[in-house]
């Protein structure tokens, strides 16, 4: 059959998130293959659609049992992809899951590309392109807030704003074009200066949209918060506290953490990626040295830095060195003084002399942690309005198109400055409008012509 899709499979739970892994298979062969590797009460084919079965996974080559599984059978078309779908729940995390996957691949199932299930849902008419793109974002969104943005995008908030800007460009274009196509008529000629002013307005709004992307990215992919500081300051302890897990090893030996550790946490509905780092100090230990280098890289790439100071030890030489290193990142540095349970006013003052403002916490006594979380939240929302009312660009393709539109406007403006002719200026404005039209799905040239006839009186 010509139009038949092949069958695909992938682990559909995020790796390492939980004890259970879900493997999803979609496509015409999924039932046949499931039949071959599943052993339960009765054969797979005899089960009803949309039921969950208990059984064992076996290796069809040698009959050996791999794992106990729960298996869901869903027949087309009432499935996510509108194809036959099988979902296998197995425990034992990534390793077992990969084994099952390998088995499936051996049976002729193809590994799914990233987002391919959604792509199929889209192709089979379950969702449209804008939805598909938003769903792709939803898949990777880890918390509620982010989902909300994905949803409001489905509702076309972005489209409305992009359309408004595009309309502005179309208006300018019509005024230029009517002059080019009807030179014998006495319209007020659009001047380059006027054109430039109007372009500038549109450009400003476009920039705001583009900037919203980095914020959208934080909401979608999580903001990266680096925890840095001298050895033994309590960095790993803080990571464990914020993530409510015993993720990092904590000892009173300075230099415990050698590598970077990442952990996702949810702070007031925002996804945050915490990064614990090796304590920063001069060291001859080869392993630790690498850790320190990595920590420095993280300082650079993260969205927010928590510089942890130790109230017990006070301000030391190492702290001074670290201060110098983060000097250039002052915009994104939050100073945190830990171990306030084991200090005296003297030591705190010592620190205050060097650093005027900081947050006081004690991981041990669980004090100041709430305030710290609030600071993180505030930082994300810094100078932003309520996210619920923001028009956010969360999709990389949209951002790229917006940037290309901006380039077009810049080119038009520079053509105006250089004294270029209207045909050239119009070319750049048109390409900007076209880029925006690619987001909203409009054909610019037709609209310009429509606009000309609506606004100008021309003809024989």
Ligand X SMILES: Nc1nc2c(ncn2[C@@H]2O[C@H](COP(=O)(O)OP(=O)(O)OP(=O)(O)O)[C@@H](O)[C@H]2O)c(=O)[nH]1
Q: Which residues bind Mg ion (CB under 5 A)?
A: 235-236, 256-257
CA distances from 176 to 168, 194, 197, 307, 415 (A): 13, 11, 15, 56, 14
Using CA atoms, how far apart are residues 154 and 149, in angstroms rounded to an integer?
Answer: 9
Q: Which helix (H) or strand (E) holds 276?
A: strand 270-276
380 vs 412, beta carbon nearer another protein: 412
For 441, list phi and psi in degrees, rounded to 5.
80, 40
Distances (CA, A) of 204 to 159, 207, 427: 17, 5, 20
Question: Which residues, 6+ apart, have CB-to-CB distance to 102 below 8 Å?
Answer: none
Minimum separation from the CB atom of position 452 to another protein (A) = 7
Choose which of 168, 216, 279, 408 interacts with ligand X (CB under 6 A).
Answer: 279
Burial 172-188 (b: 16+ CB within 10 A, else e): bbbbbbbbeeeeeeeee
Smallest gap from residue 415 Cβ to another protein (A): 8
**Chain residues 433-452 in contact with another protein, contact rule CB under 8 A:** 438, 441, 443, 445-446, 448-449, 452
- The C-alpha atoms of residue 318 and residue 409 are separated, in whole angstroms, by 50
Taking CB under 8 A as the criterion, the residue among 7, 118, 179, 237 binding another protein is 179
| Closer residue to ligand X, CB minimum distance, 171 or 341 | 341
Quick one: tokens of 326? 């983060």
Burial call 319-329: b when 16+ CB within 10 Å, e when fewer = beebbeebeee
Q: Which of 183, 327, 345, 356 binds another protein (CB under 8 A)?
A: 183
User: Does 261 interact with ligand X (rule: CB under 6 A)?
Assistant: no
Exactly one of 177, 266, 361, 436 binds another protein (CB under 8 A); that residue is: 177
Give the β-pairing of 270-276 and 261-267.
antiparallel
Q: Which residue is nearest to ligand X (CB)?
A: 279
Q: Which of 251, 349, 370, 421 binds ligand X (CB under 6 A)?
A: 251
Residue 313 found at the interface with ligand X (CB under 6 A): no
Which CB, 197 or 249, lies closer to Mg ion? 249
Kindly state the smallest distance separating residue 276's Cβ from ligand X, in Å.
7
Q: Which of residues 102-131 bind another protein (CB under 8 A)?
A: 119, 122-125, 128-130
Q: How far is the CB of 249 from Mg ion (least distance, A)?
A: 7
CA–CA separation, 184 vs 191, rounded Å? Answer: 17
CB 30 within 8 A of CB 82: no
* Complex with Mg ion: residue 73 or 281, whichever CB lies closer: 281
What torsion, rounded to 10 degrees, do the Cα atoms 133, 139, 144, 147 define? 10
Look-up of token digits 């190492």: 318
Environment class of 209 (CB within 10 Å of its CB; exposed 0-12, middle 13-18, buried 19+): buried
149 binding another protein? (CB under 8 A): no
User: Does position 419 bind another protein by CB under 8 A?
Assistant: yes
Mask of contacts with ligand X, 345-384, x by CB under 6 A?
-----------------xxx--------------------
Does residue 343 bind ligand X (CB under 6 A)? no
Nearer to Mg ion, 199 or 337 (CB): 337
When asked if residue 235 is in the footprint of ligand X (CB under 6 A), the reply is yes
In the bound state with ligand X, the residue whose beta carbon lies nearer, of 69 and 348, is: 348
User: Is residue 187 within 8 Å of 234, Cβ to Cβ?
Assistant: no
Strand partners of residue 52: 72
Which chain residues interact with another protein by CB under 8 A? Answer: 2-6, 82, 119, 122-125, 128-130, 173, 177, 179-186, 418-424, 427, 430-431, 438, 441, 443, 445-446, 448-449, 452-453, 457-460
Which chain residues interact with ligand X by CB under 6 A? Answer: 229, 231-237, 250-252, 254-257, 278-279, 338-339, 341-342, 362-364
């Amino acid at each position: 059959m010509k139009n038949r899709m092949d069958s695909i499979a992938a682990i559909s739970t995020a790796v390492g998130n939980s004890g259970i892994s879900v493997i999803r298979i979609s496509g015409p062969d999924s039932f046949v293959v499931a039949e071959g590797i599943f052993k339960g009460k009765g054969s797979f084919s005899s089960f009803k659609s949309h039921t969950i079965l208990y059984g064992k996974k076996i290796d069809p080559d040698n009959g050996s049992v791999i794992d106990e599984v729960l298996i869901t059978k869903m027949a087309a078309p009432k499935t996510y992809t509108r194809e036959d779908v099988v979902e296998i729940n197995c425990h034992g995390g990534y390793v077992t899951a990969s084994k099952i996957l390998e088995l499936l691949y051996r049976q002729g199932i193809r590994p799914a590309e990233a987002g391919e299930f959604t792509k199929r849902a889209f192709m089979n008419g379950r969702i449209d392109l804008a939805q598909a793109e938003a769903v792709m974002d939803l898949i990777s969104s880890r918390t509620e807030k982010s989902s909300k943005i994905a949803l409001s995008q489905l509702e076309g908030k972005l489209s409305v704003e992009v359309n408004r800007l595009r309309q502005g460009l179309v208006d300018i274009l019509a005024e230029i074009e009517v002059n080019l196509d009807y030179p014998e008529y006495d319209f007020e000629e659009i001047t380059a200066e006027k054109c430039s002013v109007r372009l500038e307005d549109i450009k400003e709004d476009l920039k705001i949209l583009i900037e919203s992307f980095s914020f959208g990215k934080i909401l979608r992919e999580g903001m990266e918060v680096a925890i840095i500081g001298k050895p033994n300051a309590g960095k790993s302890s803080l990571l464990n506290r914020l993530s409510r897990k015993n993720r990092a090893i904590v000892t009173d030996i300075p230099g415990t953490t050698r590598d970077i550790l990442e952990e996702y946490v949810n702070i007031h509905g925002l996804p945050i990626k915490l990064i614990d780092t090796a304590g920063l100090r001069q060291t001859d230990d080869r392993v630790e040295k690498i850790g320190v280098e990595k920590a420095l890289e993280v300082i650079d790439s993260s969205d927010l830095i928590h510089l942890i100071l130790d109230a017990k030890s006070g301000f030391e030489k190492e702290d001074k060195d670290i201060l110098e290193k983060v000097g250039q990142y002052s915009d994104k540095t939050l100073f945190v003084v830990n171990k306030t349970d084991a200090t005296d006013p003297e030591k705190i003052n010592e620190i205050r002399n060097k650093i005027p403002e900081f947050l006081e916490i004690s991981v041990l006594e669980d004090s100041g942690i709430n305030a710290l979380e609030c600071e993180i939240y505030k930082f994300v929302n810094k100078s932003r309005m309520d996210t619920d009312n923001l028009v956010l660009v969360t999709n990389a393709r949209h951002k790229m198109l917006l940037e290309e539109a901006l380039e077009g406007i810049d080119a038009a403006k520079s053509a105006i400055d250089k004294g270029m002719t209207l045909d050239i200026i119009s070319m750049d404005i048109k390409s900007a409008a076209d880029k925006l039209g690619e987001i909203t799905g409009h054909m610019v040239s037709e609209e310009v012509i429509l606009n000309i006839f609506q606004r100008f009186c021309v003809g024989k």
